Structure 1
């Protein structure tokens, strides 16, 4: 009986590890210039597999709690609760999500998005592109 439970437990383990290799979940974004945690972002998937992400909690005090620099439907809306990731989809069979957009609510700029889970899903490489130029952040999963 004990052996059977061990085998069942081990057979379920790869599914758990695979589930962690997704951007879905709660992440702490780290400022690429200061190294400080700025916010917690929750990324969720729609039934069609499209990812969105909202700022769930701010970890820094901002002099401007609203996105005054935004130019779309998010203009002058509160940053906390704001959807900053839209339309990301899994690309092929690998651990890459792209084709979406990510907003930097500090400057109102929207970037083409690419996300790649790292270190068995404990970290997430988030890269935003404008043309050939890009900016990369490594986010940490909140347990």
Structure 2
């Protein structure tokens, strides 16, 4: 019985940690290519003290030496690995963020972005769109 009482605080801490994970998009996510269905990249999402999310590519699987040839401005010709591709996302409910931007390095285009957690925080539905959110596409990223 004493052993169980000693383990109780650890069990409670693990339960809360699981809930925190399910409520946060911060962490590392594997992106999946829309066409090939293969793993494309790992994106590290961080949250600043104000709760705004930013994401950068920390690993490219197929072509780690890729550069953003079609990007404009400071990103033009820069390595995609290490590049910030997601920024400005603000909390919009328990498991959703909106009002951000996302860069498609392959096209060099920046789109409006929103996202929400799915499957208890194991997946992240990331939507990039132009104008209204009906005109765009959604990718499902997997937590790593």
TM-score between the two structures when normalised by the length of structure 1: 0.89
Aligned-CA RMSD value: 1.7
Return 6-15 or 52-61, whichever deviates more.
6-15
Q: Matched residue pairs, number?
A: 140
Q: Secondary structure at the match of 1:20?
A: helix
Which residue pairs with 2:41 in the alignment? 39
Q: Deviations over 1:97-134 (max 9, x none)?
A: 11111100000111111111111211111111112301
Question: Hey, which bits of structure 1, 4+ residues long, moved more than 6 A?
Answer: none
Alignment of 1:1-143 (within 5 A): 1-21=2-22, 22-61=24-63, 65-92=66-93, 94-132=94-132, 133-142=135-144
Q: Name structure 1 gaps, 5 residues minimum.
A: none
How far has the Cα of 1:33 moved from its partner?
2.2
CA distance in structure 2 between the aligned counterparts of 1:101 and 1:42, rounded to whole angstroms:
15
How far has the Cα of 1:75 moved from its partner?
1.6
How far has the Cα of 1:16 moved from its partner?
1.1
Q: Which has the higher helix share?
A: 2
CA distance in structure 2 between the aligned counterparts of 1:4 and 1:72, rounded to whole angstroms:
59
